[in-house]
Structures are given as C-alpha cells and as structure tokens.
Structure 1
C-alpha cells in the first residue's frame, strides 16, 4: 500500500478516486467509466509533476526519509551480482548499520559499502536505523584496505541521519572511527564513487562519501546536521526545522551549485519510492559513467584528483 506525505494530499485524493472507479468498473456494477479514469489519471500525473517540480527543502527532506524509498539492500540486489558480504571489524564486532562486501558491478569486480536503514520495524532495529557504531566504520576501513590490496574500485551508498550518538559508541571511539574512515577514503589508490540515496547526515555520511565522484539522487539531502537538530541549536525550537532546512542549503540542487557534489541523478516522477527500479537503474548508469571517467588514471592521479576536489570546496565561489 502506498504511503503519502502530507504535501501529497491532493494527489492522494485523486488516486483514491481512481482506485474507487476502477473497483466499480471491475465489479461490473457501473456504466463505462474508462474516460473518467483516464481523465483523472492525467490530472493526477500533472498534479504530481507540479508538486515535485517545486519542492521546498523541507519537503525534499520528507521525500528523502520516505519509508518506501529504495534502500541500500535494494540497490545492491539490483546492481551487484555475486555479492559476498563481509562482516566484522576484527576489533570489536559486527555492525549491521553498514553492509559491505565484494561483488560485480556490470561485470567489473568492485568493493561495495552501504548504510542500511531497514524497511520494517524488525529490520530497522536490526540495522539501528542506519546509524553506525564505531565498528561499522572500522569495518568500512577494513573493506577499503582490501579493495586497495586487490585494486578494486569502491562504490558507497549513503543513507543515514548520522552516526550513532550512544554512550557505548562514544566510549569505543566514534569520532576516531569516523576520522579513520574518512582518511581511508582519501588514501584509496583506486577510484571511489559515492551515491547519496536518501539522507546524508553529518560525519556519519562523510565517512563514506569522501570520494572521487559524489552523486546525489534528485530528492536526497546532504547536511552537517539534521534540520531538527539545527533548529534546536539555533532557535531552541525544533518546530522551526523547515526554516533550518531552507537556510542550510541541503538539497542536491544547492550542493551542485556550491560544487560540493558532482552530479544529480534524476528520480522518477513522484520520487524514487514510486518507481524504485527506475531510480536504481538511473543510479547504476551514473555510477558506470563516473567509473568510466576515472578509468585509466594512475593511483597517484586518483588520490591527487580526490584531494584537489575536496581542497577546492568553497574556494571557487
């Protein structure tokens, strides 16, 4: 069953009416209403297009958090063949918020790492809502070192509200683990491409998104703090999250303009959750194009290009 966001109410009403008319037509208790259904479908598509053409930053945040939006496991299942997950950080334990391993992307061997939020109550608890603990980032470092040893490109998928802020995580060195993961990204001698598929929250996202190419889905967000957190700090009022979302410039369109990301991946009309397969295939095409752009560069050139990219942020504006 489709879940609608608050601002999608006009579309929800139209689609409910369409389903009602279809049920009547199927029951055989109504006169021919095919033309009316076609008219309402056209009206619904137009309303949906108009809504998603003019989304506010807060509305984009809501879309990025949509529970039916495709998650990392969906991208992995669709884009990666022969996937072999690798677990544990060899220091403390396994963290289910970050999934990683080796596989093939369009015939090429790759290392793939992603943050998984979960799609049901059970899986959300299992994956801790995509909020990784230190062992998750240390596992990512282990995988990147493995990729370096076997000369494999690294593809990362970012979807997290932020790193887990619990006491245990802080006791085990959360900040140090994030810093080492960021450093591992920077020092990779092989190409790395990162895709922000939902929320890219704070250092928890940067730990995987320090890449040669950073891509964002059209309605994803990327920020140093959540809008609610920023509103609580700036105005001591979390209800002003909409104001914070606008002020922070967290949308893909803003970040491309500031040259913080490299490209925007278009989403199907109505967001990735309305047509997950199309969104995933578009992401696959963008990843393939990015890897092709980086093919042929030496390890030294790859590292230099990555470092120059991040050093240049904020200097060309």
Structure 2
C-alpha cells in the first residue's frame, strides 16, 4: 500500500521531501549542505510538534480512520501468542468483520475479540469495511460465554464506524443482537476489558464494549454517531462534520474527563500507524495492569462493578426553580 497522508500532514510531507532532495543533491554533487539540512530538520521537528500537539477533534477522527493504522489482528500478532481463531455464530454464518478466539497474553489465557477492517478494496469487502452484522455480535457473545465457562478474562478491541445498517442486517435483527449482547455482557462473571483502538461508532462499538474497564488509544474516538452522520441530521450536510466532531465530545481526553474512559493509552508520536510494535508495547503495559487488578475480584463483584460503571455514565442536575417575581403594586385611582 502506498504511503497515505492526511490533509493536515501535507506541510510535514512537503518539508520532508525538501530535506530528501537536498540530501540527494549533496550526495550527487559532493557539496556540503549539512547546515541547511540541520536547519530544515529542526524546523520539521518544530512543525510536527505544533501540529500533533494541537489536533482538533476532527483531525483525531481522521487519524482514527487512517488506513495504515494497526487493526485488531495486528495487535493480536504483536501482543498475544497461541491465538486460535474461532468462527461462526452457530445460527447463520461467520461474520469476518469480527474476529476472536483463545490466546495467551503474557503467558496467561484470555479470550480476545475485536472488529476488523481491511487494507484494500478486496480485503475491505471481505471484512465488510469493519461494519459487523448480527451474526458477528452473536459470534462475539458465543465466544464470551465460552470464555466464562473456561474462566478466562475477555479483551475486546473496538474499531468500527458502526453496525452494518443494510436491509439484510435488519432482516436478521441487528438491534436485537446488540441488545442481547448488552444484557448478557453485564452478567459475565469474568473480567472484561474493552479497548477502543480506532473508531468507536455508536451501537456497533458498544455491542462488544460493556467492559469493567474501557481504555482508549490517544487518537481514537468513541461516539454515539459518526461526525458525518451527526452533521447530516443537524445541518442536513455532511460538510459540517468538523463542527459535529467538536460538539460530540468524542476525543480521548473528553471521554476521560466525563468518566466514560478509564485510561488513555499513549501512541507513538504522530499516531499508532507510525510504529506498530511501539503502539502494541504501550497498550500491553496498560492492559496487563488492568487485567491484574480485575483478576483479583470475584465473579459477583465483577458483575456489580460493571453494572455500576455504566449506570454512572452521564451527569444530571435539576434546574433551579425560577425566582418568584414580586407582584406589581396596584395603584388605585381614587378619582376613577
């Protein structure tokens, strides 16, 4: 796949090309331009710092969707061993947009489940562009119940724009499949850690996201709707997606402050797509700590903690009663 660049990264790419051209010129003409190259390199580092340290919510969304970003199977490859993929929902078919199976994490058995996108048109069609169908959620729940029988923790990776909204999906009851997952995940007696690694879109995300801990990658997002979908509803035009991203409070920092995410996982500078191994290493450390804490809790306590966590989402206050206005004094006109 050719290297992909986002719109806001173009100034960085242009400066990198200029540095490369100067290096080639120096080598081919035996002319020392090391001072100029050093100056441009320093300028490049400053530019990258300025851009990546002040990303807007919409730019975070773009990074979360970066086609070179690591997906579930990439993290499984870098973080887990002895992965055995399990397929099918035992009702209709196997949904390739959700993958899962037993694996070992740091030598201990776990069940790992996640949404999976493709890298090119062929693989994206195979994975349905990361949009799970009802059978995907039923497969995920089957694997979770299997993990409960085996008494092993569950790790879910979330990276989807949402559940597949097509007619075939509705015919096979996508809403019911997600609702059953929500209900039954609350009753699991083993630890559940959900990690948002890219897109966390709507019910498609929460269908495998009822965890005791919710972790989110630095440049991922988690939202009730995509910015484009929100813009289409509120402004009747998808071009207002950047404004919708601002309003949706969907960035990792906002989610942490609202108590929805439990921890932000830092990414390699510029995004997880720049270094898969480093991204997996950073995620592994945080995941190991949370699993270690949750393994100490009983099945009953895990269920209670998970239920209480989701019941606490959202903050509400009663509006103060309006101050009573003093009655206007009645002026009697004796002459009348």
Q: Is the 8 A contact 1:213 1:290 kept in 2?
A: yes
Matches within 5 A, 1:107-256: 107-256=107-256
**Distance in 2 between the 1:78 and 1:302 partners?**
28
Max Rg structure: 2
SS in 2 for 1:109: strand
Q: Is the 8 A contact 1:144 1:184 kept in 2?
A: no
Q: Which residue of 2 aligns with 1:263?
A: 263
Following superposition, the deviation at residue 44 of structure 1 comes to 1.5
Q: Which residue of 2 aligns with 1:89?
A: 89
Residue 316 of structure 1 deviates from its aligned partner by: 7.7
With the length of structure 2 as denominator, give the TM-score of the two structures.
0.91
Query: In the TM superposition, what are the counterparts of 1:50-69 in structure 2 within 5 Å?
Result: 50-69=50-69
CA contact (8 A) 1:117 1:129 kept: yes
TM normalised by structure 1 equals 0.96
Q: CA deviation at 1:171?
A: 0.3
Q: 1:22 to 1:182 in 2, by over 3 A?
A: farther
CA distance in 1: counterparts of 2:22 and 2:108, whole angstroms: 48
Report the alpha carbon displacement of residue 314 of structure 1 after superposing the two structures with TM.
1.4
1:78-123 residue CA offsets vs partner (Å, 9 max, x unmatched): 0110000000000001000000000101111000001111112221
* Alpha-carbon distance in structure 2 between the residues aligned to 1:136 and 1:287: 24
C-alpha displacement at 1:204, in angstroms?
A: 0.4
Contact in 2 for aligned 1:48/1:269 (Cα 8 Å): no
Name 1:71's counterpart in structure 2: 71
Q: Name the CA distance, whole Å, in 2 between partners of 1:110 and 1:205.
A: 20
Q: How many residues align?
A: 316
Q: Relative to structure 2, which stretch is displaced further, 97-106 or 29-38?
A: 29-38
After TM superposition, the runs of 4+ consecutive aligned structure 1 residues lying more than 6 A away are none
Structure 1 residue 28: Cα displacement: 3.4
How far is 1:289 from its partner?
1.1
Which piece of structure 1 moves more, 184-193 or 56-65?
A: 184-193
Gaps of 5+ in 2: 318-336
The alignment yields a C-alpha RMSD, in angstroms, of 1.4
Q: Give the gaps of 5 or more residues in structure 1.
A: none
Distance in 2 (CA, whole Å) between partners of 1:161 and 1:153 is: 26
Describe the superposition over 1:157-194 as per-residue Cα deviations: whole angstroms up to 9, x where unpaired.
00000000010110001001111122232111010111
Q: Report the equivalent of 2:11.
A: 10
Distance in 2 (CA, whole Å) between partners of 1:180 and 1:22 is 60
Distance, in Å, in 2 between the alignment partners of 1:151 and 1:39 is 58
Aligned equivalents of 1:151, 1:35: Cα separation in 2 = 61
Give 1:106's aligned residue. Answer: 106
Identify the residue that residue 281 of structure 1 maps to in structure 2: 281
Deviation at 1:43?
2.0
What does residue 21 of structure 1 align with? 22
Render the CA deviation track for 1:192-230: whole Å, top value 9, x for unaligned: 111101100000000111101101111111101110100
Aligned partners of 1:22, 1:2: CA distance in 2, in Å?
Answer: 21
Deviation at 1:46, TM superposition (A): 2.0
Structure 1 CA distance for aligned equivalents of residues 30 and 109 of structure 2: 57
C-alpha displacement of 1:22: 3.2
Structure 1, 205-214 or 271-280: larger mean CA deviation: 271-280
Q: Is the 8 A contact 1:158 1:205 kept in 2?
A: yes
